[in-house]
Amino acid sequence: MTESHDPTPDAWAAVFARMAGVLLSEQTVTTVLELITSLAKDTLPGTDGSGITLVDEASNRSTSAATGPMVEHLDALQYELGDGPCLAAIRNAEPVRVDNLEEEERWPEWSRRAVELGMASSLSVPLQYAGKTMGALKVYSVRPRAYSSDSEDILGRFADQAAILLANMHTLSEAEALNERLLRALRDRDMIATAKGIVMLRENLDAGRAVQRLLELSLQRRIAVREVAAEIIASTHTETV
């Protein structure tokens, strides 16, 4: 019978506290992914490497985090061949366990080459959030039958947390990008308003004609209105020096 390696509740609390701490203190997807792969490797006994493959809207695949070059190489082989356990987990949205690569027939070429590299078993679990498969978390071992149904459950919990963290990071990134666009728009608006006032004073124009003047300068010089405005404001600083 396969020994259960399910961590204690306290151990799980510590693991997820570390993951949540990164979300709160570091706003980089890379940091989160590297932590997840490291924790998965440390938590599942017999694991020699862990990694995360993400897929984008165009179904492009990339290894976004890996605990070592061997994992990157094993993943690259899957991308090259277009098949393998990790890709199958993403494609079918279900866990894929390989007990003995020497006996594996689902992906003969990848399995053969993985054996040549010293690998004997693997486990891949999809990252899913709100019905969408974002990628997969996988672990590799040089020992055959390193993983069990308990391992699937444990890695599945990591995958669930990883998917939530990634979704939160994506939302945070979108919010930051939107906030930056809004701030830039406000800065541009204020800068253009200031430049308009300068033109009104310099050329004795009303507000509407001053705006038209800014547009004319923009067309003549083939630069954005905000750039014209920035130059006008900068010229006043030069005049006062």
Domain final residue pick, 146, 176, 206: 176
Domain membership flag for residue 1: no
Residue 199 lies in domain: 178-240
Instruction: Give the angle subtended at the CA of 26 by the CAs of 22 and 30, to the nearest 5°.
Output: 85
Domain identity same for 160 and 61:
yes
What is the chain's mean pLDDT, rounded?
Answer: 81
Percent of residues, the chain, with pLDDT higher than 70? 75
Domain identity same for 142 and 232:
no
Tokens of 153: 């459950």
Please tell me whether residue 98 adopts helix, strand or coil conformation.
Answer: strand
In one-letter notation, the amino acid at residue 116 is: E
Indicate which CATH number applies to the domain containing 228: 1.10.10.10
Closest CA to 78 of 58, 55, 94, 99: 55
Q: 169-218 pLDDT, tens per residue?
A: 665 555 556 556 656 766 777 888 898 899 999 999 988 888 888 888 88
* CA within 13 Å, CB half, 229: 18
Closest CA to 61 of 81, 46, 45: 81
Please tell me whether residue 95 adopts helix, strand or coil conformation.
Answer: coil
Domain identity same for 146 and 194:
no
Pair 192, 229: CB distance under 8 Å:
yes
Domain final residue pick, 176, 197, 216: 176
Domain identity same for 65 and 150:
yes
A 10 A CB-CB count for 76 gives 12
CA–CA distance, 76 with 62 (Å, rounded to integer): 8
Domain identity same for 152 and 195:
no
CA–CA distance, 77 with 144 (Å, rounded to integer): 20
Q: 104-122 pLDDT, tens per residue?
A: 999 999 999 999 999 999 9
CA–CA distance, 92 with 42 (Å, rounded to integer): 27
A 10 A CB-CB count for 206 gives 9
Domain membership flag for residue 171: yes
Domain membership flag for residue 2: no
Domain identity same for 183 and 168:
no
Closest CA to 212 of 202, 199, 224, 201: 199
Q: Structurally, how many domains does the chain consist of?
A: 2
Domain identity same for 168 and 148:
yes
